[in-house]
Amino acid sequence: QICKALLVDPKVGLKQREQVGTSAGHHAEPFQARREVFGRNTLPEAHAVTFLQLLIAAYNDRTLIMLTIASVVSLAVGVYDDMLGSHKNDEVKVGWVEGAAISLAVVVVCFTNAINDYQKEKQFQKLNAKKEDRTVKTLRDGNEVEIGVQEINVGDILLIEPGDIIPVDGVYLGGHNMTCDESSATGESDAIKKGLASDGRDPFILSGAKVLEGVGSMVVVAVGPRSFYGKIMMAMRQGQASETPLQRKLDVLAEQIAKYGMSAAILLLMTLTIKYLVRCALAPEFPPFSI
């Protein structure tokens, strides 16, 4: 009944030049009507992360923010000391060097992290594209042909062999001693035997399952984001990636370093301020440029 509803003969498969649902005299691409109703076996492109977003994410670190504040303070104090302070008469002005060096270090760290993450993102996209670049065997016009997984349509009759990774959802039609590992889709490690529902076996073959043994055929009933594996992938895109235990420990360590560093800086600033005020009180003029 499923094959009848999908307008496909399980012994012949789809026609290579099928024009189902098109009006007379109207030229359309093969399987266009099926793809308009059931979709293509491709997932929508994931939102690409821009280099600017990676740069902002790299800078969003408490240690780098603390160093930025320190560089601004150091640069302001150094410029003031060079222009109006004790080094105003020096030929070479070097008070700005320390603050500028800290700022340069922050910029280098941010750009290095952003470039590394950007390259990893591009490599990951190429790897995903390569992973989907494979072929499957199907029936078309009664002949066994190989097509790319992106060209699979709802109603196609797939021929399954040991070692195949099922790219779509389907219903078992026939075969011999077929066993699938659906742990990647369901989390269950036990192998599941497939067969006809009339024989009391599971006829549903989920996308992402691996054929362990046996051969058979199945009719495709769901592709792309409507398949079981496609729904999982789309849900993973929408969810936020959880941090690993190592990342959480490193975040705690970085936060502690930032707190201790900021506390030490505030203590040093208070000590130097008190020292400066005491010298101002003891000096004959204010501000005591000569000190």
Q: What is the pLDDT of residues 208-254, one digit of tens each?
A: 889 999 999 999 999 988 888 888 888 877 765 666 788 788 878 87
Contact 102, 137 (CB under 8 A): no
Model confidence at 142: pLDDT above 80: yes
Q: What is the residue-wise DSSP string for 178-198?
A: EEEE-HHHH---S-EEB--GG
Strands 157-160 and 135-140: antiparallel
Question: Residue 111 is encoded by which pair of tokens?
Answer: 């750009």
Q: What is the pLDDT of residues 10-50, one digit of tens each?
A: 888 888 777 655 555 555 677 888 888 888 888 887 777 88
**How many secondary structure helices (H) and strands (E) does the chain include?**
8, 7
Contact 203, 195 (CB under 8 A): yes
Strand partners, 244: none
* Residue 85: Cβ within 10 Å count: 15
Phi, psi of 10 (to 5 degrees): -60, -15
Under the banding of pLDDT at 50, 70 and 90, the label for residue 278 is confident
Question: Residue 247 is encoded by which pair of tokens?
Answer: 């990342």
Helix, strand or coil, per DSSP, at residue 231: helix
Residues 6+ apart with CB under 8 A from 12: 139, 141, 142
Cα–Cα distance between 114 and 190 in angstroms, integer? Answer: 42
Contact 209, 232 (CB under 8 A): no
Name the more confident of 285 and 55: 55
Sequence-separated contacts (24+) of 250-259 with Cβ below 8 Å: 254/61, 254/62, 254/63, 255/62, 257/63, 258/62, 258/63, 258/66
Cα–Cα distance between 64 and 103 in angstroms, integer? Answer: 10
Supply the pLDDT for residue 112.
93
Q: What is the mean pLDDT of residues 156-163?
A: 91
Q: What is the pLDDT of residues 62-115, one digit of tens each?
A: 778 888 888 888 888 888 777 776 667 777 777 788 888 999 999 999 999 999
Which of 146-155, 204-213, 256-265 is least confident? Answer: 256-265
* Residue 229: Cβ within 10 Å count: 22
Supply the pLDDT for residue 20.
58
Phi, psi of 147 (to 5 degrees): -135, 160
Contact 173, 25 (CB under 8 A): no
